Every structure is written in C-alpha cells, then in structure tokens.
Structure 1
Amino acid sequence: MAYDVERIRAGYPALADGRAWLDAGGGTQVPEAVIEAIGDAHRGGLSNLGGDHRASRRSGGIVAEARAAVADLVGAPDPAGVVFGPSSTALAYRFAEVLADGWNPGDEVVVTQLDHDANVRPWVAVARRAGAVLRMAEVDPVTGELPAERVAELIGERTRLVAVTAASNLIGTVPDLASITRRARAAGAVSFVDGVQHCPHEHVRLAELGADFYATSAYKWAGPHLAAVVAADPGALEDLHPDKLAPSPDTVPERFELGTQPFAALAGLVAAVEHLADLDDAATGTRAQRLAVSRRAVREHEDALAARLFDGLAELGGVVRHGAPRGRVTPTACFSVDGYTPAGLAGELAARGLNVSSGHSYAWELVHALGLGPAGAVRASLAHYSLRQDVDRLLAALAELTPANRPGHR
C-alpha cells in the first residue's frame, strides 16, 4: 500500500505515548519536520521585513513561500489572495468588518446552524450594527444535514453575504457547497466559507467549491497555530480597505495583516504542506500534484476508519450518535452514553488512554438545534495518522462503560 500509516506516525513524536489520539477536530499533532522547520528558522536568524540584510530578506522569502504553500493546498489561483492571521476566528472578525462596509438597513446576511460560531457571531455583530436582516438556515435536527435548498431559499436580491461551513466541526456534515455558493453568486452576494474542518480531510479545489473566501487553520492539518483566509480572486481584495496603521503596507494581501508576521511559524506551515504532499509514497511531480494524490489517499484511509467507527457506535446499546448525515461526512462522530455527562464520559475515556473532546465545540447553534444544549456531547475525530486500533480501543471502552453491552446483561 502506498499509504503507509505506520511510516507516517513514526514522524510524530507526540504519538509515541501509547494513547489513542481521537481529538483531531480540536487540533492535530505536529510532525518532526514541522518542529525542525520552526527551529531552523530561528537558528538561521529572522528579522522584520523591509531591511536590506540577509535575515530580513529571509523572512520575506518565508512569507512568500507560505502563501504559495497555502495556495497549493486549497487550489487557489494566486498566492496574492492568501491572508494570514493568528486564528480563523480573528480573521473572520477582520473580514466581517471590512465586508460589511457599505451595508444598509434592510440588506440581508445568511448564516447557518451547522457552523462553528466563528462563522456566525462576527456576521451577527456587523449585521446588527448595519441594520441588516439576519437569516439563519436550519439543519435537519435528526440527521444533522443542511440541505442546500434551505440555504438557497433564504438568498434574495438584498442578500449581501452568505456564511456557510464546508464541513461541520461537531458532526462532520459536508453540505453541497457548490450549489449554495452558485446561488449566492447569482444573487450578487459574497460567500465566506469556513473550511477549518474541511481542509484537513479533503482535496480542496477552490474553483470547484465556488467560495469567494475560504478559511483554513494550519493546526488542524499538522501545522502550527496559524490561519489563512484565501480569496478566490485576489482582485476582490483590492476594493476592500480594512482599518490599519498609517505606515503599514497598503498592498494586497499585506493590508489585511496586523503587525509583524510569525516568521518561524510560517516556516512550519510550509513544512506542514510539504508533509501533507508526501503522505502517499506514490505521489510525484509538483507539490500541487503530490497533494492531489496524497489528499485522496488520506480520504480513503479516513473513510474506512470512519465507517468502522460509525458502524461500531450503532451496534452499542446505550450509545446515541447525534447527527448521522446520509451524504459525505468528515471522520467525526458526536455521541452520548446513558448515565454519563459528556465531561464525565470524556474523563472515563481519558483514564483508559483515549483522547476525545467533550462539550459544544463552539458549534453553538448546532448543539441547540440537536437538542443537546451547552453541555454538548462527546466528539471523536480522526486524522490522517489515526489507526484502526484507535477506533477499536474506543469502541471496546464504550462497551465496557455501558451496562447494556456487558456480558450477561438482559
């Protein structure tokens, strides 16, 4: 098999602790190549941009390499459309302020219940200040699906922006994004897509998604804590003028980036994209070509593990999986167990060597739509380095913890 998960895992120091890391939805672990790239950047010397000396030029080269790496990862046409920031939440607020400039009372903004709150609350805030009308597309409370028509029917001639996730961070739902963005574009609206939980699991082609802006976070795909918003058309950034310091660059994309860039972390981001491109031993060619092969191999690996996880949960008495979309999903399961609070269950699993997360996962609208409330549920989420044994350990632990699955129970 070209996709050798044991080879891949050997490059991750944190995975040597013997635990089952089933919390990729909250952030992946980092391979040695990324750690070394960050260290090498510091060891080689860094300086702020704009200088004539070697360290300054080196920092500028790292920034340029990082933009090109993200463009390759998401299939963007031009690295000039890549804007960096400390987190996807910070960038969403940054873009909300600038995109809302010029909105008028009666204009409309569409958000969804499926989204992480980082792609809801910024738009709620700017819509309120502009006097715009907020419309929220509802999920199916049983399946957790977001039919494209539920979003499309809210889009009209006064719609200025549609904010929608490419994949739910809580239950893995992947909506028909192309249909949604096509309807938004036809109405003259801008689409802002949260790809934070989508990018780690899919071979992303921005043109196919139809997104005007696509957000991704490097720490969800083996990189450092950095995020980027990618404009499908860098020219769209030219007409946007965010607040900035008077002497800071007014060029695109620099005008959107506040303060000094974290150069060493950006070097780590480049190493992370290179790592993703080489996950499949059969991948050859340019970085973009290698990414296409490796990302599809990752999807096959994760799909097989996800099917085993979903089927296993369905067979356990006393375990309820929340949201079971019938279409495409990312490898994420949200569930509850009779007799346990989400935090209590996560603690029991942690004591058995299983890393999962619990709570609302910032999917604030979704946990309420599913009837879970702020306490949320337990989330198990897989990554490209996950093992079948990890899934089996989780299922065995849940069987042990639920009386309905113990031998002799009637």
Structure 2
Amino acid sequence: MTQLDVSALRAAFPSLASGIAHFDGPGGTQTPAAVGAAMAATLTGPLSNRGTSILSEQNAEDAVAAFRAAGADLLGAQPEGIVHGRSATQLAYDFSRHLSRDWGPGDEIVVTELDHDANVRPWVQAAERTGATLRRLTTDPVTADLRLDDELDEVVNDRTRLVAVTGASNLIGTRPDLPRIAARAGEVGALVYVDGVHLTAHAAIDIAALGADFFVCSPYKFFGPHCAMLAADPALLETITPDKLLPSTNDVPERFEFGTLPYEQLAGVTAAVDFIAGMAPAGMDAAPRRARIVAAYEVFDAHELRLRRRIEEILAALGDRVVVHSRAAHRTPTLFATFPGRHSDDVARVLAERRVHAPSGTFYAYEPARALGIDAGLRIGLAPYNDDAEVDRLAEGLAAAL
C-alpha cells in the first residue's frame, strides 16, 4: 500500500497555515487552493446563462457538464443521474415531496436511529402528511449499530415504500450494512434513499454495489464548496415528476434543479473531485479518473485508520474519565466521546485554547444521540490532511482538560 504524502497534501490547503489542528472534518473539511481558484476563474468568466452562441454561455454549459461527469466518477453513477442541490437537507425535502405523491394509509416508510435528522425529519413529515405509517430500525447502544438481525425482516416488509438510511453515522461513525438493507428492500419492492454525506468523505462509493436507489453527498465534506449532489439511475428519475416552472426543461436530471445553477459552485465540486483523483499513487496519471479516485480513497483510508487507532489508544489511556461511543465493527475514522462528571463543552473549550478544534454537541444527529442517551459529546473526526503532530496536540489537550 502506498503511503499518503501528508506534507504534500497539507501544502495544498492555505487554511492549515493558521496552525489550527482541525478534527472537525465531519462538519466540513478545509478547502484546497485549487478549488477556490476554479471557483474564482469560473465566476469571473466570461460567464453568462447557458447556451452555445458565445464563449460566456459555453463556459456555463461546460461547468454543468463537468460537474455531472465528476459526480458520476466519484459515485459510480451516470452523468445524467447527477442532481445538484443547495444541501443534503434540501434534496431530502425535495425528494420526500416528489416521492410521497402517491403514498397513503397502509404504506410504510422506514427511517433509522443512526441518521442525521436531515434523513429522518423529511420522511417523518411526508408520512404524517400522507397518512403513511412510520417505522424505525433501532440502534443497539452496546454495538452502536442497527439491530438488523432482530428487526430488518419485520420492519422492512410488503407495505414498505421507502427505506431512508445513512451510509455512515455523522455522530459515531457506524457504517450499517447497506447491501443487506438494500437487498431486503429490493425483495419487497421498496426504494432505498441513502444519506452518504459522512460516508463519501471516507470511502470510494459505488451506488450499485451499495444498493442505493438515491445517494446524496455534500462536497464540502470532501474538500469542495457548500452544496450537495444526488445520484440516481436516470431511468428512475424519469419516473418522478416534480413541481416545476412551466418554461423550465423537463429533461432529467435538470427538471429537479430549480432556477439558475451556481456555475462557480459546480466548478468547485469538479475541482474537488479532481483533487481527490490527484492523490492516487504515482504511476496512475494515465488511468481513468474513476480508477484514480478509488485508489486515492484506499490511501486515505489507510492513513486515517492508522491515526484513528492512535487516538483510540490515547482515549483508552485516560481510563474511566472517557466513554467512547464509537464502537461498531465497521465505521469511519470518527470518534464520539463523553466525560463522566465533565461536560464536553468544557473539554472542547480547553482544546480550542490550544488551537485544536474538536467540537462538542450532537450535530443534528438527534436519533442516535437519543438512542445512546446522550445530550452532548466531543466529536473527533479525521480528514486526510491530519497528521501525527496534530494527534500529539490533541492528546496533550485532552490530558490538560481532564
């Protein structure tokens, strides 16, 4: 396995010169200079509304096409199935309205106790609005994973219309068995809507292998600008009719994108995907971008896993002063901890005084926090640019705080 050149990677991020050790990757990563440059170059043009009659129009067309191609390479999808959204929350609300048009009493919708509220509340409210029944896959606080052996076949049944499930918990890092959940949904004819916001920052995605009918991610979690994208089979999108303006196109995927697209934002997403591909091991320059993305994630994963294990050892050495709730067998490099007798806000404050950013809270993960009986905790999330020196600083800050 090729080792990640962390020093070279860090040099691409101007913000890291601040001296802050960022363990807040699950909330959003830092941004490489190349992404900002791509956005500025697109925005300053020439740039007009889309068309082909003049360079400024063509630049807009090219930004859209490049974004869809980059999203497809990132997620193992087709460009015609990539939908831009302002945020993952906005896309979930949009598609909850699109998909619930024909729901009614007798239909069932499944959510989970691992999900960020953005992949729970839109479906809860759609079920309430249509009279459908809401079901939950619950979390076992001991394993920090879903109780699939006990619940999956009963909760996902012939009445199920849709299963909304996370690819990885943004709170505790748990990666539930998506292929198993999707296989059960397929048996009963239900759709699977996957919130991949946290997962996409840490794993190469293949939506077909995961069994996702809809897969959503947010580029600002993996070096890009603040927006979101949804991937789906274009043939499935053709079966969905959204409310839209009369003059706007009915083509897929554009009929799901309302108003003028932010071309500079799309260019930033493309640059972020290219940045990831550029982290592939040496000798892959001529390989297709998809292959380079997959290879880069393998390098990222090895680096992040090594650092995660170091942090786990540091937390274990603190004994009963720390309770680590991230304990699932399959999980991301994100650790969530509480401190008996101490509030996590106090620990986060001591770390911040040392210019180490590991925030405190529950981070909109209402369901897993409730399942674990937690009102707040410290989240330590790794990104590829974190290094051993920063882990040392984290250890020193935790020791001082406790």
Instruction: Tell me the TM-score normalized by structure 1.
Output: 0.94
Aligned to 1:369: 371
Aligned to 2:360: 358
Measured in 1, the distance between the counterparts of 2:401 and 2:38 equals 42
**TM-aligned CA deviation for residue 47 of structure 1:** 1.2
What SS is found at the alignment partner of 2:315? helix
Aligned to 2:92: 92
Measured in 2, the distance between the counterparts of 1:132 and 1:323 equals 33
**TM-aligned CA deviation for residue 310 of structure 1:** 1.6
Measured in 2, the distance between the counterparts of 1:277 and 1:258 equals 30
RMSD: 1.3
Q: Is the 8 A contact 2:137 2:155 kept in 1?
A: yes
Residue segments in structure 2 that go unaligned for 5+ positions in a row: none
Aligned to 2:322: 320
What SS is found at the alignment partner of 2:84? strand
Q: Is the 8 A contact 1:322 1:335 kept in 2?
A: yes
Structure 1 stretches of 4+ with a deviation exceeding 4 A read none
**TM-aligned CA deviation for residue 70 of structure 1:** 0.7
Q: Is the 8 A contact 1:143 1:323 kept in 2?
A: no
Residue segments in structure 1 that go unaligned for 5+ positions in a row: 403-410
Measured in 2, the distance between the counterparts of 1:290 and 1:321 equals 38
Measured in 2, the distance between the counterparts of 1:147 and 1:391 equals 33
- Alignment partner of 1:151 is 2:148: no
Measured in 2, the distance between the counterparts of 1:2 and 1:307 equals 16
- Alignment partner of 1:309 is 2:311: yes
**TM-aligned CA deviation for residue 43 of structure 1:** 2.6
Aligned to 1:406: none
**TM-aligned CA deviation for residue 2 of structure 1:** 4.8
**TM-aligned CA deviation for residue 46 of structure 1:** 1.4
Aligned to 1:30: 31
What SS is found at the alignment partner of 1:111? strand
Aligned to 2:56: 55
- Alignment partner of 1:334 is 2:336: yes
Aligned to 2:108: 108
Measured in 2, the distance between the counterparts of 1:377 and 1:162 equals 28
Give the letter aligned to residue 209 of structure 2.
E
**TM-aligned CA deviation for residue 95 of structure 1:** 0.4
Distance 1:343 1:401, change over 3 A: closer
Measured in 1, the distance between the counterparts of 2:335 and 2:154 equals 29
**Residue pairs, 1:8-87, within 5 angstroms:** 8-50=9-51, 52-76=53-77, 78-87=78-87
Measured in 2, the distance between the counterparts of 1:66 and 1:234 equals 16
Instruction: Tell me the TM-score normalized by structure 2.
Output: 0.96
What SS is found at the alignment partner of 1:335? strand
**Residue pairs, 1:256-295, within 5 angstroms:** 256-282=256-282, 283-284=284-285, 285-295=287-297
Q: Is the 8 A contact 2:113 2:138 kept in 1?
A: yes
Measured in 1, the distance between the counterparts of 2:321 and 2:249 equals 54
Q: Is the 8 A contact 1:221 1:272 kept in 2?
A: yes
What SS is found at the alignment partner of 1:280? coil
Q: Is the 8 A contact 1:111 1:137 kept in 2?
A: yes
Aligned to 1:349: 351
Give the letter aligned to residue 104 of structure 1.
G
What SS is found at the alignment partner of 1:391? helix
Q: Deviations over 1:111-143 (max 9, x none)?
A: 000000000000000001110110011101123
Q: Is the 8 A contact 2:348 2:378 kept in 1?
A: yes
Measured in 1, the distance between the counterparts of 2:64 and 2:317 equals 49
**TM-aligned CA deviation for residue 226 of structure 1:** 1.2
Q: Is the 8 A contact 1:170 1:334 kept in 2?
A: yes
Q: Is the 8 A contact 2:113 2:371 kept in 1?
A: yes
Distance 1:273 1:152, change over 3 A: farther
Q: Is the 8 A contact 1:319 1:338 kept in 2?
A: yes
Give the letter aligned to residue 295 of structure 2.
V
Measured in 1, the distance between the counterparts of 2:290 and 2:318 equals 42
Q: Is the 8 A contact 2:347 2:398 kept in 1?
A: no
**TM-aligned CA deviation for residue 51 of structure 1:** 5.8
Q: Is the 8 A contact 1:192 1:214 kept in 2?
A: yes
Q: Is the 8 A contact 2:350 2:400 kept in 1?
A: no
Residue identity over aligned pairs, in percent, reads 45
**Residue pairs, 1:191-202, within 5 angstroms:** 191-202=192-203
Q: Is the 8 A contact 2:185 2:191 kept in 1?
A: yes
**TM-aligned CA deviation for residue 52 of structure 1:** 2.3
Instruction: Count residues in correspondence.
Output: 398
Measured in 2, the distance between the counterparts of 1:338 and 1:138 equals 25
Aligned to 2:210: 209
What SS is found at the alignment partner of 1:196? coil
Aligned to 2:387: 387
